[in-house]
Amino acid sequence: MVRQLLRIVALLVVALLALQLGFGLRIAAMAVIDPQSTAFQRSEAWRLLTEKGRIDWSRQWVDGAQISPNLKRAVIASEDAGFADHSGVEWDAIEQAWEKNQRAQARADRAQARNPERPVSVKMVGGSTITQQLAKNLFLSGERTVLRKGQELVLTLMLEALLDKPRILEIYLNHVEWGEGLFGAQAAARHYFRKDAAALGPQEAARLAVMLPAPKRFEKNPGSAYVTGRAATIAARMGAVQLP
């Protein structure tokens, strides 16, 4: 019985190592091969197909040199100010996000106890870097579990070890979502401003950066007062951003 259990454990360890090796080889290949799609994009394509019976899709890869430095600065200023310096994970940001989520959950639990019949939603905040977001989008599902978060951290460290920062940012900007079925800087620039990603000005870039946390919500009113105000804040920060 013990021998059989040890054999099962050994097989699980070998399978886990083989999975990580497969991920590592795929990431290493991305140094020279542009990834054609991400796990998130494939799941979105399936959702659109099953819900609408069709896939409305827009994505076009462009080299990093064809993406405006304004957009690069705006996205870093908005999403990950320490991108050029950190090793993929901002542990302080993760700890702060965890503490905020714990407080939010405690408040929700108290509200639920006062009114058991009324469901209470909890808005969780994240402490993910650009590299972590890329790891999740490239390879993982959208579920929130401890195991998935652990795999995300492993993939993040692999991305940082095998790719340089400009390449990580290039892949991220070419695959990140900017609306339903709308992916990448070039598609977003054409959709919202009728111009190429290379031609985006500071204010346009800042507006796109504002949309990233919730693109499907913001695309319904990209000129809202919130987007405009937040974009002004991001634009003011862009001058201090260090590009990798």
Share of the chain above pLDDT 70, in %: 85
Same domain, 43 and 116: no
Q: What is the pLDDT of residue 122?
A: 39
70 lies in a domain?
yes
Same domain, 164 and 236: yes
The DSSP line for 78-135 is HH-TTTTTSSS--HHHHHHHHHHHHHHHHHHHHHHHH-TTS-----------HHHHHH
Same domain, 19 and 59: yes
20 lies in a domain?
yes
Q: Residue 117 sits in which domain range?
A: 91-126
Query: Are the beta carbons of 210 and 227 closer than 8 angstroms?
Result: yes
Tell me the per-residue pLDDT of 27-44, one tens digit each, with 9 for 90 and over. 999 999 999 999 999 999
Query: Are the beta carbons of 173 and 72 closer than 8 angstroms?
Result: yes
Identify the helix (H) or strand (E) that includes residue 38. none
Side chain identity, residue 162: L
Mind listing the pLDDT tens digit of every residue in the chain (244 residues)? 778 888 888 888 888 899 899 999 999 999 999 999 999 999 999 998 898 888 888 899 999 999 999 999 999 999 999 999 988 887 665 555 545 545 545 555 565 556 665 554 434 445 589 999 999 999 997 777 888 888 999 999 999 999 999 999 999 999 999 999 999 999 999 999 999 999 999 999 999 999 999 999 999 888 899 999 999 999 999 999 989 8
Same domain, 164 and 220: yes
* Other beta carbons less than 10 A from residue 52's beta carbon: 11
pTM (predicted TM-score): 0.85
Q: Residue 37 carries which DSSP code?
A: -
Same domain, 103 and 143: no
What's the domain count of the chain?
A: 2
